[in-house]
Copies of this chain bind each other. A is one copy, B any other.
Amino acid sequence: MRFELNKEFVEELQLAIQERSDESIKSMVAELHPADVAEILGELEPDDAHYLFNLLPSELTADAIIELEEDDREELLEDLSGQEIAHAVIDHMDSDDAADIISELPEEKQDEVLSNITDIVQAGDIVDLLKYDPDTAGGLMATELISVNENMTVRNCVEEIRKQAPDVGEFFYVYVIDDQGVLKGVLPLKNLLLANDNQKVKNIVEDIISVKTDDDCEDVANIMRKYDMVSMPVVDSIGRLKGRITIDDVVDVIKDEADEDYQIMSGITGDVDSSDSVFKLTKARIPWLLIGMGGGILSSIVVKGFDSHIALHPVMASFIPMIGAMGGNVAIQSSSIIVQGLANNSLGLDSAGKKILKEVLGALLNGTIVATLAFLYNIFFASDFALSIAVSLSLITVVLFAAIVGTALPLGFNRMKIDPAVATGPFITTINDIMGMAIYFLIGCLCYSMF
């Protein structure tokens, strides 16, 4: 029952498209799930994708377009007029998806699309949704939902659902509101199915957690994850029901946030994946490489300041990579724990000072272990006594410094409302490279003058 896209399928389809054999194309694709169609559209060349898009029924392509990667979608919609987009795409979508897609279009095309939407009520909903910041609950919610008045009986309620259902896709809950439209609770369909026809909705309604339209998406995702919710009602500042957020959208938020943090940590900005163009991939990486470059230049200035010592004791140079690597590794370890804790809202109630203290203790422990190992190695196999002492002392100092910076920086960024994830990866290793060199050569010179 499950479709697996492979190279053979794509090649066969390309052939059918080149031969314009519409019937075999349709027989290959028309029965597939929209998510699979999206995958296929993403693999085809733009011209072929266009041809397929025009051939398939609007319901299917509209659902597939939502699932496409943003750049593939842009390419596909580029050649369509505002009117075509309205009728072939937007008319068949829920309001939240429609608003997302319209917001990606160029300004002038947006108005053309909006004025051509068939259902004026839907158009109004979309216009309202476009006003919300896309990173808030309002930007994530759909307006399609089933709501019933708390004073209805179960029988009326089922009739009401019959009326509202055609406009709403899948739903598992009915939202209960009062005469003013204020959210009073929720009615799982299960309760409705098992209730007596004459019972009042008011008497079987269940309490539910809701969020406000301007609540942050990431908070909404954390709340839905924490309370295992499948659907989250969104209310305005005075509690009136405005929309609902479904778990599939939240799963995407959770996944996207995690992917974004992963990419920032690895020194990549902007949402890219391996199927993007070489140019886009390069552009996403160069900012962090330039930071690394700048750090490298600063490090070189620091090291150059010790030129004469290196000429005298060239073996000092051989431990530069070790000092750099250990500082970088520890800084990344410390910062990533903090960044992850902040993202998951799982840092607990300890103060920043207590967290740094904990990292310092851990760093002392780890620093002592690696410093001891380095000392044993140096004494038995490698360097003179002065350098052995210098390397080990530097390791402890650098590891300590890295742990403090790695903990304090993301906490500080977070307090300043800067994404703490930025304080990981190349950024923090660069800082530690520069400081590490200064620490190592200062301690090294001191040791050579003493021993």
Contacts and interface: CB of A to CB of B under 8 A. Distances in A.
Interface in A164-210: 165, 170-172, 188-190, 192-194, 207-210
Nearest to A284: B333
B1 A266 contact: no
A61 B8 CA distance: 54
Contact of A281 (B158, B267, B337): B337
A318 B293 contact: no
A297 interface: yes
Interface stretch (A100-108, A129-137, A361-369): A361-369
Nearest to A172: B172
Classify chain A: how many residues form its interface, as a range: 35 or more
A243 interface: no
B255 A225 contact: yes
Contact of A288 (B261, B262, B329): B329
A72 B261 CA distance: 27
B286 A366 contact: yes
A320 B10 CA distance: 48
B190 A333 contact: no
B251 A321 contact: no
A230 B190 CA distance: 15
A193 B161 contact: yes
A386 to B, nearest CB: 16
Interface string A265-302: 11110001111001101100110111011011101111
A328 interface: yes
Nearest to A302: B318
Interface in A350-380: 350, 355, 358, 361-362, 365-366, 369-370, 373-374, 377
Contacts of A265: 262, 265-266, 336
15 contacts: A67-B226, A158-B193, A255-B258, A255-B344, A263-B336, A267-B329, A289-B369, A292-B322, A293-B326, A304-B318, A316-B317, A321-B437, A324-B324, A328-B328, A328-B429
